[in-house]
Amino acid sequence: MQQSRWTWRLLALPGVAWLAVFFLVAFYAVLAVAFGNQDTLSNPVPFWNPLDWNVGYVLEMLRNYWEGGPFLTVSLRTIEFVAIALVLSLLIGYPVAYYTARHAGRWKGLILLALILPLWINYLMRMLAWINLLAPDGIGSEMLHSLGIEWAFLQIGLLDEPGGWLNGQPITVILALVYGYIPFFILPLFVAIDRIDKRQIEAARDLGASPLGAFLRVTLPLSVPGILAGAVLISLPMFGDYYTADLVSASTQTNMIGNQIDIFMRQGSEKVTGAALTLLLSVFLLILMLYYLRTTRQSGTSAQTA
Amino acid sequence: MSWLRNPWGRPRWLIAITGFYVLWSVVPVLLAIAFAFNSGRSRTTWQGFSFRWFTGETGSVLNDPALRDALEHTLLLAVICVAVATPLGVALALGLQRWRGRGSGTVNTLMLLPLVTPEIVLGVALLLLFLRIFPGIGLGTEAQAIGQVTFALSYVVVIVRGRLVSIGPEFEEAAADLGAPPRDQLFRVLLPLLAPAIVASAAVVFAISIDDFVVTQYLASDASTTTVSMLLYANARGAPTPALNAIATVGLVITLATLTAAFLVYRRFAGGKEATSLATLEV
């Protein structure tokens, strides 16, 4: 048996080595650049030895946050967009997941297929679809106009001008984020609600709970893990998103933190600042990532013992 | 509130929301597909049916060099990604499944990290890696393939481990009791049993490689390394022709055909219930 145990570890070795180099070392490169320096052409000069690390760039960025500079504005805007998108996703997604799990009956398979399908459609194609629809002469804008929705949005001030959905409107970016990520939110939620034992609800009713009481005290608490899992699952990519805002707004007024990183790293040449910002974003998201890993590990082990 | 009074009755407003949601999520894409067949240059006004943006002499997916090259490069990356990530991931899944004790927890976490890391962070990290540590590889096709494999690997491991858990250790133990050496246990017992999961994970890797955008864009070098996703990003807001819809449609058909085929194979050989859980959980 000793020999076969080594066989198994040997099998894992190439994959582990791959992840070590292309994930861990790659992330270390972010640290080395963020705590490094730049030459006169503003090319990054990484400092590989942690003892040499230069905290200047990161400190300067933190000072910018402290003094309420542009980084703080962009970060707060990102949090605002993501928070509103999460609330909207919950308001739309919960009824859909609840209906599919509980009431869909013979339609369940078909609706489930419709819920899964968007996951496998290229995100950019789904954004392209909306760009076509929301163009000033697009079918979507015309429908929103004739239904009076455009008028309502203009009155509330969510839209600047008639037909201007794609002209840097925060509401368009938020709705595009919802459209883009909500399928990833609904599925874990569906699984959580689907797993709830119906006998628990029957028991609550038998013991005198009102229908609303049974929903609030049985179904809702039992679906909280699904809500949290879905929320974390879509928050992580939303916090790093730059293409959605770029595509449906293309205005610096709706830039998110991902746009800021993208401007530094890919479009411009301030890679050191970009790496420092990536580092701050990762630290910020670490709590969410660890939470998600912990819950998936737990459900993984319970599935193994079951 | 009748839906609450009778939790198994017909909840009208839930039906309405769900119906609206399904239409909202699917119809825009269907319209985008429809406009790929527009005979005019507009992506917003219908001018009649034609295949010109797929096979026309100029500006079509087939005959416009930029579009054709992007499609070819996308497929090339997907094939490389499947060829590298699938064996690597299957081996890692097998190794992790039997590896108990020291180090296994760390590797388990490491394996899941790429799934939860926002792509822009991975993109930035790999960009700096290839610029500063492996300037020999540099940016371009190799870097793009390596980047895609790095997160595709986790999907393979998750799918294959799911199947490993469901087949249990009995077959392997029986083989061992009958005197099969570890090599035979692996090649003559485990791998055949895992075949449906391997096919499924290869299809999933193929699909996520085709649909990937951020990492692929960060590790691209010049126009020759443009993929379909990058093309969509670069041109969606310009004044392009329905050819953009056409190339997106081609990508969609390839992705869905691959996944459907793999799903059918999986259901045929591993049972319908497992196939459904694969479809709902592997996101």
ipTM: 0.90
Instruction: Report whether pLDDT(A146) > 80.
Output: yes
If asked whether residues A246 and A274 sit together in one domain, one would say no
Instruction: Report whether pLDDT(B258) > 90.
Output: yes
SS3 annotation, B233-249: HHHCCCCCCCHHHHHHH
Distance CA B273, CA B94 (A): 23
Out of A15, A118, A127, the one facing B92 most closely (by C-beta) is: A15
Interface contact flag, A120 B91, Cβ < 8 Å: no
If asked whether residues A219 and A174 sit together in one domain, one would say yes
Distance CA A56, CA B57 (A): 57
For residue A43, tell me if it sits in a domain.
Answer: yes
For residue A148, tell me if it sits in a domain.
Answer: yes
From the list A285, A297, A283, A273, the residue with the least C-alpha distance to A71 is A273
Q: What is the tens place of the pLDDT at every residue in A193-240? A: 998 888 888 888 888 888 888 888 888 999 998 999 899 999 999 999
Interface contact flag, B232 A122, Cβ < 8 Å: yes
Residue-number span of the structural domain to which A107 is assigned: 84-256
In this predicted model, which residue has the larger pLDDT, B172 or A301?
Answer: B172
If asked whether residues A129 and A37 sit together in one domain, one would say no
Which CATH architecture does the domain made up of B64-281 adopt?
Orthogonal Bundle (1.10)
If asked whether residues A250 and A280 sit together in one domain, one would say no
For residue A78, tell me if it sits in a domain.
Answer: no
Contacts of A241 (CB under 8 A, 6+ apart): A177, A180, A256, A258, B120
Instruction: Report whether pLDDT(A120) > 80.
Output: yes
CB A133 within 8 A of CB A140: yes
In this predicted model, which residue has the larger pLDDT, B99 or B268?
Answer: B268
pLDDT of residue B283: 37
Confidence bin at A304 (pLDDT 50/70/90)? very low
The structural domain count of chain A equals 2
Confidence bin at B273 (pLDDT 50/70/90)? low
Size of chain B in residues: 283
Size of chain A in residues: 306
If asked whether residues A41 and A132 sit together in one domain, one would say no
If asked whether residues A105 and A136 sit together in one domain, one would say yes
Instruction: Report whether pLDDT(A302) > 50.
Output: no
For residue A232, the chain B residue with the least C-alpha distance is B116
Pure H helices in A69-169: 70-102, 108-116, 123-134, 139-146, 149-156
Contacts of B222 (CB under 8 A, 6+ apart): B140
Tell me what the mean pLDDT of segment B106-134 comes to.
90
pLDDT of residue A41: 74
Cβ count within 10 A of residue B101: 7
Mean pLDDT of chain B: 87
If asked whether residues A26 and A111 sit together in one domain, one would say no
B192–chain A nearest CA distance, Å: 17
For residue A263, tell me if it sits in a domain.
Answer: no
If asked whether residues A132 and A61 sit together in one domain, one would say no
pLDDT of residue B29: 95
Distance CA B229, CA B9 (A): 44
Distance CA A127, CA B73 (A): 22
B173–chain A nearest CA distance, Å: 11
CB B172 within 8 A of CB B141: no
Distance between terminal CA atoms of chain A? 26
Q: What is the tens place of the pLDDT at every residue in B202-220? A: 999 999 999 999 999 999 9
Cβ count within 10 A of residue A300: 15
A10–chain B nearest CA distance, Å: 7
For residue A294, tell me if it sits in a domain.
Answer: yes
Out of A27, A95, A128, the one facing B236 most closely (by C-beta) is: A128
**Alpha-carbon distances of A229 from A192, A194, B98, B258, rounded to whole Å:** 10, 15, 28, 28
Written as six digits, the tokens of A226 are: 């699904």
Confidence bin at B2 (pLDDT 50/70/90)? low
Mean pLDDT of chain A: 88
Interface contact flag, B28 A18, Cβ < 8 Å: no
Count CA within 13 A, CB hemisphere, residue B194. Answer: 29
Distance CA A33, CA A30 (A): 5
Distance CA B177, CA A115 (A): 46
How far is it between the farthest Cα atoms of chain A? 76
A155–chain B nearest CA distance, Å: 24
Tell me what the mean pLDDT of segment B160-165 comes to.
86
pLDDT of residue A28: 94
Coil, helix or strand at residue B38: strand
Distance CA B206, CA B157 (A): 15
Which range has the worst mean pLDDT, A45-49, B25-29, B232-236? A45-49
Interface contact flag, B128 A4, Cβ < 8 Å: no
Q: Where are the domains of chain B?
A: 64-281
pLDDT of residue B4: 57
A184 touches chain B (CB under 8 A): yes
Which range has the worst mean pLDDT, A257-271, B59-73, B143-157, B166-180? B166-180
CB A108 within 8 A of CB B11: no
- Residues of A whose CB is below 8 A from B121: 27, 30, 240, 278, 281-282, 285
**What CATH number has the domain bearing residue A235?**
1.10.3720.10
From the list B53, B77, B97, the residue with the least C-alpha distance to B229 is B77
For residue A77, tell me if it sits in a domain.
Answer: no
A222 touches chain B (CB under 8 A): no
Query: Residue A37 pairs with which residues in a beta bridge?
Result: A45
In A, residues 76-135, which contact B (CB 8 Å cutoff)?
92, 95-96, 98-100, 102-104, 111-112, 114-133, 135
B91 touches chain A (CB under 8 A): yes
If asked whether residues A250 and A274 sit together in one domain, one would say no
In A, residues 51-70, which contact B (CB 8 Å cutoff)?
none
Q: What is the tens place of the pLDDT at every residue in B86-110? A: 999 999 998 888 776 677 778 888 8
If asked whether residues A245 and A273 sit together in one domain, one would say no
For residue A72, tell me if it sits in a domain.
Answer: no
pLDDT of residue B8: 52
For residue A44, tell me if it sits in a domain.
Answer: yes
Confidence bin at A89 (pLDDT 50/70/90)? very high
Task: Characterize A240-262 residue by residue with b for buried, 16 or more Cβ atoms within 10 angstroms of its Cβ, and e for exposed.
Answer: bbbbbbbbbbeeeebbbbbbbbb
If asked whether residues A162 and A192 sit together in one domain, one would say yes
Q: What is the DSSP letter of A38?
A: E
If asked whether residues A224 and A283 sit together in one domain, one would say no
Q: What is the tens place of the pLDDT at every residue in A253-300? A: 999 999 999 999 987 778 899 999 999 999 999 988 888 888 776 665
A51–chain B nearest CA distance, Å: 19
